[in-house]
Amino acid sequence: RLAERHHSAIAGQEDERQRDGPEPEGADTDLDRPILAADSAPLDERTLAQRAGIGWLGRNALVIAPEAGTYRLLGFLLTTAPLAPHHAGQDADRCGSCHACETRCPTRALVGRRVLTERCISYLTIEHQGVIPRALAERFAGWWFGCDLCQEACPWNRFAGPAADPRLNGSDADAALLAVGPADFDAYFAGRAVRRIGYERFRRNLLCALASLGRRDECASLLGEGLPLVVEQARELGITPIS
Within 10 angstroms of residue 214's Cβ, the number of other Cβ atoms is 8
* Active-site residue, selected from the candidate residues 20, 28, 39, 148: 39
Strand partners, 114: 111
The residue type of 239 is: I
Rounded distance between C-alpha atoms, residue 32 and residue 16, angstroms: 19
What CA–CA distance (Å, rounded) separates 87 from 107? 36
Neighbours of 48 (CB within 10 A): 13
Cα separation, 2 vs 202, in Å, equals 12
Task: State the Cα–Cα distance between residues 140 and 126, nearest whole angstrom.
Answer: 13
118 vs 133: CA distance, rounded Å? 10
Measured between alpha carbons, how far is residue 240 from residues 230, 231, 235, 237, 243 in Å?
Answer: 11, 9, 7, 9, 9
Strand-pair partners of 32:
none
Q: What is the DSSP letter of 162?
A: -
- Rounded Cα distance between 16 and 176, Å, is 26
Active site residue 39: yes
Annotated catalytic sites, by residue? 39
